């Protein structure tokens, strides 16, 4: 990566779900471009490990870890309080990245518990993450949602997951209008197939693996994406290079949605 121009110099960022995968790769890119970063995670041991890795890589104390479950309003409020203290009540970038993968189940197989869990993390969690941290956002700041290409290309095995991401897309549009008077931009990225740790936690890993293989076959570039490729697009939305972009959704999917 060329660091001739650090695109986030002096900026502050919060990345939810930043211990692995796309969130971790985005933290690396943000730190490399000069930002001060807070990452969150549910598991304290994994969170500590991620922070130590990032500190070791960048030889810097500009990275912090805060334990937070996005399903908990109390923990999100605590995250906002801690962010305010660490960043002097000034937040430039919020990457709403926490989420759970689709279960690869048919519509008829889903039960209420699974439905509620998926919506509570992917949509309710995203909604209240922004609500609790919005008071810290400054003029010219950027909010970025991590959605998915499946929101607009239906798959029978991902009906609930896709619905949470479609709800997120609608929320991006609403928040873009709502926060515009404060000079805050709200956009989204919609990755295609990007193998990360999140897929390994599927209740039926074999079925999920088969689903992924089928999606890769349907992708024009015939390969999955990498967390680093997604992070580089997130960097664009976080930086001033995207200063006239709001309410948008960038598909990063190797041509799958096309």
What was the pLDDT predicted at 197? 66
Q: What b/e string do you get for 23-46 counting C-beta neighbours within 10 Å, with b at 16 or more?
A: bbbbbbbbbbbebbbbbbbbeeee
What was the pLDDT predicted at 166? 97
pLDDT, tens digit, 9 for 90 and up, residues 110-162: 899 999 999 999 999 999 999 999 999 999 999 999 999 999 887 888 899 99
DSSP conformation class of 158: G
Residue 2 has pLDDT above 50, yes or no: no
Handedness of CA 9, 88, 13, 181 (dihedral sign): negative
Residue 1 has pLDDT above 50, yes or no: no
pLDDT, tens digit, 9 for 90 and up, residues 5-44: 899 999 999 999 999 999 999 999 999 999 999 999 999 9
**Residue 231: exposure state from Cβ atoms within 10 A (0-12, 13-18, ≥19):** buried
Q: Sketch out the chain's domains with CATH numbers.
A: 12-251 (3.40.50.720)
161 is catalytic: yes
pLDDT, tens digit, 9 for 90 and up, residues 207-218: 667 778 888 988
- What rounded mean pLDDT belongs to the chain? 92
| β pairing state of 12-15 and 36-41 | parallel
- What's the pTM value of the predicted model, to 2 decimals? 0.93
pLDDT mean over 220-243: 96
The alpha-carbon radius of gyration of the chain (Å, integer) is: 17
More confident of the two residues 226 and 101: 226
What was the pLDDT predicted at 186? 99
Report the run of H or E that residue 144 belongs to, with start and end: strand 137-146
Residue 175 has pLDDT above 90, yes or no: yes
| Alpha-carbon gap, residue 110 to 30, rounded angstroms | 38
pLDDT mean over 185-205: 77
More confident of the two residues 131 and 197: 131
What was the pLDDT predicted at 153? 84
pLDDT mean over 47-66: 95
The end-to-end CA distance of the chain, in Å, is 29
Residue 198 has pLDDT above 70, yes or no: no
pLDDT mean over 231-243: 98
pLDDT mean over 63-76: 98
pLDDT mean over 70-98: 98
Cβ atoms of 51 and 39 closer than 8 Å: yes
Residue 200 has pLDDT above 70, yes or no: no
| Alpha-carbon gap, residue 249 to 246, rounded angstroms | 9
């Amino acid at each position: 990566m060329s660091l001739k121009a650090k695109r986030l110099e002096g900026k502050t960022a919060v990345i939810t779900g930043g211990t692995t995968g796309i969130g971790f790769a985005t933290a690396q890119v943000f730190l490399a471009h000069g930002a001060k970063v807070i990452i969150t995670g549910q598991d304290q041991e994994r969170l500590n490990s991620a922070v130590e890795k990032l500190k070791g890589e960048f030889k810097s104390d500009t990275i912090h870890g805060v334990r937070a479950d996005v399903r908990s309003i109390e923990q999100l409020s605590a995250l906002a309080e801690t962010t305010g203290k660490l960043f002097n009540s000034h937040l430039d970038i919020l990457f709403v990245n926490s989420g759970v993968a689709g279960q690869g189940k048919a519509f008829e197989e889903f039960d209420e518990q699974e439905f509620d869990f998926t919506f509570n993390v992917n949509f309710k969690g995203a909604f209240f993450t922004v609500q609790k941290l919005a008071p810290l956002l400054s003029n010219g700041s950027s909010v970025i949602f991590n959605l998915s290409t499946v929101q607009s290309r239906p798959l029978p095995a991902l009906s609930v997951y896709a619905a949470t991401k479609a709800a997120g897309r609608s929320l991006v549009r609403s928040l873009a209008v709502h926060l515009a008077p404060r000079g805050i931009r709200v956009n989204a990225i919609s990755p295609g197939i990007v193998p990360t740790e999140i897929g390994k936690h599927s209740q039926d890993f074999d079925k999920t693996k088969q689903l992924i293989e089928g999606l890769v076959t349907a992708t024009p570039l015939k390969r999955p994406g990498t967390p680093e490729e997604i992070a580089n697009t997130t960097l664009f939305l976080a930086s001033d290079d995207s200063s006239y972009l709001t309410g948008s959704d960038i598909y990063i999917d190797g041509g799958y949605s096309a």
